[in-house]
Structure 1
């Protein structure tokens, strides 16, 4: 993959290059991707089939995120876990939204806002094993902490959505 493409994906099309709060900007940049994937619900009417599709997407995006992060650490930015790399935040938000399955406009907006806030909380605080997961090499540490933050946020989001709706 060309360096320009890798850099574009890593910075999520330039959001990571913004001078303030690149992680937050990257997470905000994940919202259109979520809405795009969520629109497939109209085509894939069966929720189980849609969840399988979403899982396959997440698996591929996880692998792509590790590849892109590794290349950025070694070749492009030449530093450990560069702040400009925000594809990991995109993945973390997408993991946060997995299996949430909001129905209707109001429920979707509430899910996105709560998902954003929960993911940013876990991503910033890096509680427990989330912090320890950053120490792996080859791009894995860059991605794994955001993945785990997304898993924790997902668990709470599903519980909250069940209570609220």
Structure 2
């Protein structure tokens, strides 16, 4: 397995069927927890940026010369989007000194909202996906992750405002 394929498929998680994107998002969860535990919110941000650029490179390599700009086994974009969706939890945990695992309802919300926006592809998510290139593959999940992160913040605000 080439380096590009290892990165793009998250060490082969993209080959799990059915729903490889969902599997990629699930794989992203424990990795996000590990990154957060090691270095808090700042490391999660740095790791997300690094994963974005590595994923963009790997996606471009794997789709070079192909008509399919977004093969289902490429799931590194799901990792990036899922990590963005989790950032409000990581930030709150890091700033307030709260164990991130006690925020488990937020993890579930981040996962479900990210999958919803990634599958539904509303507005800017769909626009990015329609680019038809490796950058579009990555950007649609970045935007879906941002939408999910906003949803996590709204739900947390509603829950904690009671």
Shorter-chain TM-score bucket reads 0.7 to 0.9
Q: For structure 1, list consecutive stretches of 5 or more residues without a partner in the other structure.
A: 45-49
Match of 2:143 in 1: 148
**Shift in Å at residue 138 of structure 1?**
4.4
What is the RMSD of the two structures over their aligned residues, measured on CA atoms?
2.0
- Deviations, residues 51-90 of structure 1 (Å, cap 9, x unaligned): 3333222222211111111111116x76211011000001
Structure 1 ranges of 4+ moved more than 6 A: none
Match of 1:160 in 2: 155
Which stretch of the first structure deviates more once superposed, 22-31 or 7-16?
Answer: 7-16
Whether the 8 Å CA contact 2:85–2:149 is kept in 1: the answer is yes
Match of 1:20 in 2: 18
**Matches for 1:1-165 after TM superposition, within 5 Å:** 4-40=2-38, 50-74=40-64, 79-100=68-89, 101-102=92-93, 103-104=98-99, 107-136=102-131, 138-165=133-160
Task: Give the total of aligned pairs.
Answer: 154
- Deviations, residues 70-127 of structure 1 (Å, cap 9, x unaligned): 111116x762110110000011100101132343365332121111001000001000
Q: Return the TM-score normalized by structure 2.
A: 0.85
- In 2, distance between residues paired with 1:29 and 1:119? 14
Whether the 8 Å CA contact 1:66–1:138 is kept in 2: the answer is no
